[in-house]
């Protein structure tokens, strides 16, 4: 979509559709733009940082299951609500059981800090960093050190989201009317919005097809190729970077979002021995050799062959007695006892036709030999006769015709 055009439509949980006007609710807002001198002072004092981007992954998609208004429906303290959301989202992001802060708890916490009628993003994050808030199980949850994010560069913004939810200050007028009703709304592009009166959370990015899939709705026809997941008023929607550029005035990421949380150890790798074996061709009566290859598991490997004709051994060399196509199999066993199996076709032919075996002795005579009976002498006998003749001549005897 071209810059300057705003698409505002609600996507209902069951599909696409507009929300009737009577169902639309307006909720209080209360975010304030953090004074720039306060940001500078926090950075100089080591209480905040400028976010240093890392190479972001292709996509980050997290959708907490237990969303809440966290006080937005009664008060203007959207900033504390965003912090409560961030705790839930970050635990989901790490693959842990979702950590939930109840609405009465965050309202009481915001009231104790003087935030119910509005606050800037940095002061709420710093308060959450200093004394934290208890979750529904009574465990104290604190925020990490805040870092200001250059949201204008997508790679930087995505890198920050890959570390945890990014708290952003926006103009609430940039949100579609359905953003406070059901998840699945969207806002792309749009005009510039000058005010800062609302705090929301960017907590995912990637192809819009995957973002809408995570929300359980179909993407609209005018959806851009990529976008961001955005939490506000107990709902999650999809926005694009053009929309962010037109309405966001500041952005913060906590490092970490919630202290003391570490992802569970990854499951041990599933070790599998995979075996491949190329097909062979050969002839009856001639040996053929099978050459398997094994990967995975722990080398070295022991191989056992079944040649498809009822013969099995560990040699890998086999002589087939009949022609045909045989399915040979090989089983590999690694050093720890893991096994894997592979197969290969053996195509065996009968080979070239051997010359016929003569039946008796066949003699061939020149055409000028007269007819008659002849006594045939085998070549071996001729050799013996020749030796006798040589012996007789050597003793001075002379042969006479019979």
302-316 per-position pLDDT tens digit: 999 999 999 999 999
Dihedral class, residue 216 (left if φ above 0, else alpha if ψ from -120 to 50, else beta): left
- pLDDT for 300: 94
**CATH code of domain 6-255:** 3.90.70.10
Instruction: Say how far apart CA 10 and CA 17 lie, in whole Å.
Output: 6
pLDDT value for 125: 97
Whether omega before 96 lies within 30 degrees of 0, making that bond cis, reads no
* More confidently predicted of 205 and 357: 205
Of 15-19, 71-75, 85-89, 386-390, least confident by mean pLDDT is 15-19
> What residue spans in the chain does CATH classification 3.90.70.10 cover?
6-255
pLDDT at position 3: 29
Whether 50 shows a pLDDT value over 60: the answer reads yes
Partners of residue 235 on adjacent β-strands? 232
For β-strands 235-239 and 186-189, DSSP reports them as parallel
Tokens of 394: 């050597």
DSSP bridge pairs for 303: 332
Q: Provide the pLDDT confidence category of residue 248 given band limits of 50, 70 and 90.
A: very high
Strands (E) across 244-360 are located at: 250-255, 274-276, 280-283, 287-289, 293-295, 302-306, 312-313, 317-319, 324-333, 339-349
> pLDDT-based confidence at 286, cuts 50/70/90?
very high
Query: pLDDT band at 178, cuts 50/70/90?
Result: confident
Contacts (Cβ under 8 Å, ≥6 apart) of 320: 282, 284, 285, 288, 307, 309, 326, 346, 348
Average pLDDT, the chain: 86
Which token pair is 261? Answer: 């949380």
Burial of 260: CB neighbours in 10 Å, binned 0-12, 13-18, 19+ = exposed
With bands split at pLDDT 50, 70 and 90, how would you rate the model's confidence at 395?
Answer: low
Residue range 295-301: average pLDDT? 92
CATH number of 274-349: 2.60.40.10
| pLDDT at residue 12 tops 50 | no
Instruction: Please write the tens of the pLDDT for every residue from 120-168.
Output: 999 999 999 999 999 999 999 999 999 999 999 999 999 999 999 999 9
pLDDT single digits (tens) 195-235: 899 999 999 999 999 999 999 999 999 999 999 999 999 99
Taking a C-beta distance cutoff of 8 angstroms, is the pair 12, 184 a contact? yes
Residue 380, Cβ neighbours under 10 Å: how many?
7
How many CA atoms, within 13 angstroms, populate the side-chain half-sphere of residue 9? 17
């Amino acid at each position: 979509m071209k810059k300057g055009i705003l698409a505002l439509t609600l996507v209902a949980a069951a599909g696409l559709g507009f929300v009737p006007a009577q169902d639309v609710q307006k909720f209080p807002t209360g975010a304030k733009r953090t004074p720039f001198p306060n940001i500078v002072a926090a950075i100089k004092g080591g209480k905040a940082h400028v976010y240093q981007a890392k190479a972001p992954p292709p996509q980050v998609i997290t959708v907490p299951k237990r969303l809440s208004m966290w006080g937005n429906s009664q008060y203007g303290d959207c900033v504390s609500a965003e912090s409560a959301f961030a705790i839930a989202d970050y635990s989901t992001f790490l693959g842990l059981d979702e950590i939930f802060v109840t609405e009465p708890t965050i309202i009481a916490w915001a009231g104790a800090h003087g935030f119910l009628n509005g606050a800037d993003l940095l002061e709420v994050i710093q308060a959450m960093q200093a004394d934290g808030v208890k979750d529904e199980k009574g465990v104290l949850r604190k925020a990490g050190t805040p870092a200001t994010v250059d949201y204008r560069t997508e790679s930087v913004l995505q890198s920050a989201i890959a570390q945890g939810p990014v708290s952003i200050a926006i103009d609430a007028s940039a949100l579609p009317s359905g953003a406070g009703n059901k998840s699945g709304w969207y806002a792309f592009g749009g005009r510039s919005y000058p005010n800062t009166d609302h705090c929301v959370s960017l907590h995912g990015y990637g192809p819009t097809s995957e973002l809408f899939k995570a929300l359980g709705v179909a993407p609209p026809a005018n959806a851009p190729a990529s976008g961001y997941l955005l939490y506000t008023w107990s709902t999650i929607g999809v926005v694009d970077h053009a929309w962010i550029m037109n309405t966001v005035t500041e952005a913060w990421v906590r490092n970490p979002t919630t202290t003391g949380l570490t992802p569970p150890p990854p499951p041990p790798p599933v070790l599998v021995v995979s075996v491949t074996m190329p097909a062979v061709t050969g002839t009856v009566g001639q040996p053929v050799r099978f050459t398997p290859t094994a990967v995975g598991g722990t080398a070295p490997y022991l191989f056992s062959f079944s040649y498809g004709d009822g013969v099995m051994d560990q040699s890998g060399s086999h002589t087939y007695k009949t022609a045909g196509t045989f399915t040979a199999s090989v089983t590999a066993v690694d050093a720890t006892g893991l096994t894997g199996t592979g197969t290969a076709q053996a195509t065996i032919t009968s080979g070239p036709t051997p010359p016929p075996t003569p039946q008796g002795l066949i003699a061939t005579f020149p055409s000028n030999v007269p007819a008659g009976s002849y006594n045939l002498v085998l070549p071996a006998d001729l050799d013996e006769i020749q030796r006798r003749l040589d012996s007789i001549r050597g003793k001075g005897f002379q042969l006479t015709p019979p």
